Structure 1
Amino acid sequence: MKPFHFKKFSINQSKDVFRVGTDGVLLGAMCSVENATNILEVGTGTGLISLMIAQRNPKANILAIDIDENAVKLAEENFTNTIFSGRLNVLNKDFKNFSGEEKFDFIVSNPPYFEENLSEKDVVARQRKELKFEDLVEKASENLSENGIFSVIIPFESSEHFEKICSKNNLSLHRKIVVLGIQNSNPKRVILEFGFKEKKAIQSEFTIEKSPRKYTGEYLELTKDFHVFKTEH
């Protein structure tokens, strides 16, 4: 499988590990990591989001975990091949049994979000079989510092349910970005950010494409430090 090349790093891919996708790119580019120094990524896969965060925040030290040994080996390989390798670590861990030595000021995840089904494609990465939303939120609240931020990208239709789970774990919504795949279409994804402190949530909308395979100006601007775009874009 061909590597996916970004401007400052490349991602080696494997048929056994969930590939580079738009969800990961969006979360890696939009999550609020500017002031974080001790970061945890849950379910790193290829390591894409951790690498994007390392590029965006030169002060960040990042621990990436994944339950899948194949993902851990691939992420480790991708981390080692970059200029950010000294600030990146990856461990083969089940988040349900994870406890950090210290609290993290930023926890980020592009979690499995499909209900369990008969599909055999990327089961661990795509289906809520090994990590349910309830487990993810509970463990995130346990490992998040007092002023920390918890950031995820999930399907838009799951946002209300996810927000309720967070509320039960004393996490307040701080930021909500509704993502449209194509201009004027129904919302596709949502990026949510939470913290322990109560505050008025900042809400916005973001559109990826103005028409099929034609990116919007806001997407091109968001990803200009990462993507290598063809001239027609």
Structure 2
Amino acid sequence: MKSFIFRQFEIRQSAEVFRVGTDGVLLGALADIRNARKVLEVGTGTGVISLMLAQRNPNAAFLGLEINQEAVQLTRLNFVNSPFHSRLKNIHQDFKSFSTQEKFDAIVTNPPYFEVSGSGKDKIARQTIELNFRELISKSSEFISEQGVFSVIIPAEAGNEFIKTAEEYHLFLIRKINIKGIENSKVKRLVLEFSLTGKALDESEFIIEKSPRQYSDQYLELTKAFHVFKG
């Protein structure tokens, strides 16, 4: 399968591992890791999100957890071949049984979100089979530092439930980005960020395309340090 080429690194892909997609790229570009020194990614897939975050924050060290053995090997390959390899680690681990005394300044994830799917393709990555939202939230609340940020990208229709569940675990919404696929369309995705300390909500809108197959100026600006756009 063809590799996905970024400006500073390359993502090798596999037909058996969920491939680079817009959701992962958006989270990699938008997640708040400005003050992070220790970052945990839950479900690394190809490793694209951690690699983007490592490019954005040269002072952070990254630990990735992945339940799919083939994805673990692919991520490790992409990590080793990147200029950030010394700060990146990935392990074969189910987040539900993950245990550590460490606290993380940032936890990021593009979680599984289809409760039911007729396709067997990318089954673990695309469905809540191995990890549902409540499990994800409860475990993340254990490992986030006092000033840390928990960042996710999810479908818009799951937003209210996710936010309500997070509050049960004392994770409070501090940032919400409403993502539209195209101008004048419905909100398609949400980037949500939570912390143990509540503060005024920062809410904004993000548009991916200004017309079909034409990226918006907003998207081009956000991803210019990563994507190689053909002029």
Coarse TM-score class (shorter-chain normalised):
over 0.9
Q: Does 2:29 match 1:36?
A: no
Give secondary structure in 2 for the equivalent of 1:208: strand
Ranges in structure 2 where 5+ consecutive residues have no aligned partner? none
1:95 is matched with 95
1:145 is matched with 145
TM-score, structure 2 length as denominator?
A: 0.99
1:168 is matched with 168
Aligned-CA RMSD value: 0.6
1:217 is matched with 217
1:2 is matched with 2
Give secondary structure in 2 for the equivalent of 1:116: coil
- Within 2, Cα distance between the matches of 1:101 and 1:118? 39
Once the two structures are superposed, the pairs formed by residues 16-165 of structure 1 within 5 Å of their partners are: 16-165=16-165
C-alpha deviation, 1:100, in angstroms: 2.3
C-alpha deviation, 1:146, in angstroms: 1.1
- Within 1, Cα distance between the matches of 2:101 and 2:8? 31
1:205 is matched with 205
- Within 2, Cα distance between the matches of 1:211 and 1:161? 31
Deviations 1:26-70 (A, max 9, x none): 000000011101000000000000000000000000001100001
What amino acid sits opposite 2:172 in the alignment?
A: S
| Over 4 Å off, 4+ runs | none
Give secondary structure in 1 for the equivalent of 2:197: coil
2:14 is matched with 14
TM-score, structure 1 length as denominator?
A: 0.98
Deviations 1:70-129 (A, max 9, x none): 110000000000110000000000000112231111000000001133320101000000
Contact 1:150 1:195 (8 Å CA) reproduced: yes
- Within 1, Cα distance between the matches of 2:101 and 2:13? 31
Contact 1:116 1:129 (8 Å CA) reproduced: no
What amino acid sits opposite 2:148 in the alignment?
A: G
- Larger deviation, residues 142-151 vs 115-124: 115-124
What amino acid sits opposite 1:202 in the alignment?
A: D
Ranges in structure 1 where 5+ consecutive residues have no aligned partner? none
- Within 2, Cα distance between the matches of 1:127 and 1:100? 26
Give secondary structure in 1 for the equivalent of 2:113: coil
> What is the identity percentage for the equivalent residue pairs of Structure 1 and Structure 2?
56
Deviations 1:147-189 (A, max 9, x none): 1110000000100000011000000000000000011101110
The number of residue pairs the alignment matches comes to 231
- Within 1, Cα distance between the matches of 2:80 and 2:211? 37
